[in-house]
Structure 1
Amino acid sequence: MEKEKTTNWLPTDKRFVAFIDILGFKDLVMRSSHSHIYDLLSEISKLRSLIDNWKDKNDGRYSNAEMYTVSFSDSIVVFSKSDTVEDFDLFAFGIKWLFSGAIDKSIPLKGALAYGEISLNKSSQIYFGQPIIDAYLLEEEVNYFGIVAHNSIEKFFKDNEEKSVSKQILSEFKTPLKCGTISHLNLIWFKEIDNPPTDFNTLRNKIKNFQYNISGSPRRYIDNTINVIDQVENELK
């Protein structure tokens, strides 16, 4: 999914990582052809062009910031190059566009973000570090179509909030987790930052349409996502 870059990545550095899960992937494999699933994953990959376009519009501010994406089966893992504020902004908006683009294509996702020291060797395909584990474990707890931030991200965001444009799409609210509803910082993938403003009614209908492919307990993700959308809309009024 990642095209080659000319700039150097340090093998070990402090980075941001997102661990994203495609919900219902096993059922999708059973119900769909191999080629259909491949096409869906390819569509997610194409969303990188949105990130590159955003970089081009910002007068070189993000020229040294990069993301690297690894996908396998039902999981997508996204790494930033380092931990500058510019890397964080590119990372946050990149995850937002990947997530919202997938939802637009009726691919349900959930995920989590974390921060810390990570070793990443592209040629040897070595990826390890506590933040990857933190993001994976938190993603397992997420109970809606959303992206929750680990406390390591919350600390970085608090320290750099005034310098980061990502504050437009990060907000703390009551978050549906499998252990209950708990206050957490979330990346609001559905919030529009330019005109036109977020169309919450259209968004709710888009989420409700997932019920045509889901029955039983998995529908809690739909209900919980709509509750989050309602919560964010009320806070923006």
Structure 2
Amino acid sequence: MRYVAFIDTLGFKQRITKISHEEAVEVIRQFNQSIYNIWRDMGLDRDETIRGRTFSDSVIVHSQDDSKEELEKIIKFLINIYKESIINCDLPLRGGLANGSFDDIQAIEFDNLQKGLLVGTAFIDAYLLESDNGIKGSKLLFGQEINLKIERQLSGFETKKVKVDPNGRTIYELKWGDLIYLTESNYEALNKFIELGSKSKWLDHYFGTLETFLIKESEENKQEIYVRIIEKLKADYKYNDLDNFLENYLKSESATYTKRSFLKFLREKI
């Protein structure tokens, strides 16, 4: 039994249609360099219990077994690349984390033909968590078994139920960013979030991500973020960027929790 995470970027395909090939290569190079830097800084390049590979705009990380120590290492690594990718790569991430059977079989047959096989139910489960459940936003998703292990055996992590799939399985997410992440370094992460949201004309992915950040935050803390977003849009963006934010937030299907809070905030300002 192993833990396997499959992580993909949000909006990369749409982004590369608007830039040159050389610019797209640079985006991928920067993304992969960020992953390498974090991997090295965390000492995972010398850790025999964790393995990973990147291809294009995706990342796979897996453990040697299903110990709580290896689960914690994977989660901490993923939190770091989620944060880094938004701030420095302009690429929000979404992924699935599963456990089960898995093998990464690599071989070189010829200098110009290399073979690699990813085999196992855990990889399929992680991939489907990311791609096949209609959940929007920059989220790290997993099932009930991993959620229970996080709650009972690990400390310092918060999780939240996202939905129940058609097969009756509950899907959870990790709160990988919080108020401190959004506001530190003079609101660096929040400013980047506003920039990316505005460029996308505030797709629902951004409200789903905001929901992740604000899970279990107080109303006061939520309102601090709402005020900052509105003030930033009014000061540095076009009027229709603020219109898009307000209109699409109220129409959001992926941020029901914070949408209620946002409506309360607006009522108090009227």
TM over 0.5: yes
The count of aligned residue pairs is 204
Is the alpha carbon distance of 1:200 and 1:79 closer, same or farther for their aligned partners in structure 2, counting shifts above 3 Å? same
> Which structure's CA Rg is the greater one?
2
Aligned counterparts of 1:176 and 1:207: Cα–Cα separation in 2 = 24
Would the aligned equivalents of 1:17 and 1:77 in 2 still touch at CA under 8 Å? yes
Aligned counterparts of 2:205 and 2:70: Cα–Cα separation in 1 = 30
The equivalent position to 1:157 in structure 2, one of 146, 150, 161, is: 150
Shift of 1:125: 0.8
Give the aligned partner of residue 65 of structure 1: 49
Aligned counterparts of 1:77 and 1:70: Cα–Cα separation in 2 = 6
Matched, 1:135 2:122: no
Aligned counterparts of 1:81 and 1:103: Cα–Cα separation in 2 = 29
TM alignment of 1:162-201, pairs within 5 A: 164=154, 167-168=155-156, 170-175=157-162, 184-191=171-178, 197-200=180-183
Would the aligned equivalents of 2:165 and 2:171 in 1 still touch at CA under 8 Å? no
SS of 1:233's equivalent in the other structure is coil
TM (norm. structure 1) is 0.72
Would the aligned equivalents of 2:163 and 2:172 in 1 still touch at CA under 8 Å? no
Give the aligned partner of residue 20 of structure 2: 33
The equivalent position to 1:121 in structure 2, one of 105, 108, 115, is: 105
AA in 1 matched with 2:100: G
Matched, 1:84 2:67: yes
1:111-152 C-alpha deviation (Å, 9 max, x unpaired) = 111111102112241111111111111112231111111234
Matched, 1:210 2:193: no
Give the aligned partner of residue 42 of structure 1: 29
Would the aligned equivalents of 2:139 and 2:209 in 1 still touch at CA under 8 Å? yes
Aligned counterparts of 2:124 and 2:170: Cα–Cα separation in 1 = 21
The equivalent position to 2:40 in structure 1, one of 34, 52, 60, is: 52
Aligned counterparts of 1:130 and 1:145: Cα–Cα separation in 2 = 24
AA in 2 matched with 1:85: K
Identical columns (%): 21
SS of 1:52's equivalent in the other structure is helix
Compare 146-155 and 98-107 and name the one that shifted more: 146-155
Q: Higher relative contact order by CA 8 Å / sep ≥ 6: 1 or 2?
A: 1
Compare 31-40 and 45-54 and name the one that shifted more: 45-54
Q: CA RMSD in A?
A: 3.2
Give the aligned partner of residue 228 of structure 1: 212
Would the aligned equivalents of 2:6 and 2:95 in 1 still touch at CA under 8 Å? yes
Would the aligned equivalents of 2:159 and 2:175 in 1 still touch at CA under 8 Å? no
The equivalent position to 2:138 in structure 1, one of 138, 141, 145, is: 145
Shift of 1:31: 0.8
AA in 2 matched with 1:134: D
Is the alpha carbon distance of 1:210 and 1:155 closer, same or farther for their aligned partners in structure 2, counting shifts above 3 Å? same
Shift of 1:222: 0.9
TM (norm. structure 2) is 0.64
Q: Which has more helix, going by share of residues?
A: 2
Aligned counterparts of 1:228 and 1:155: Cα–Cα separation in 2 = 19
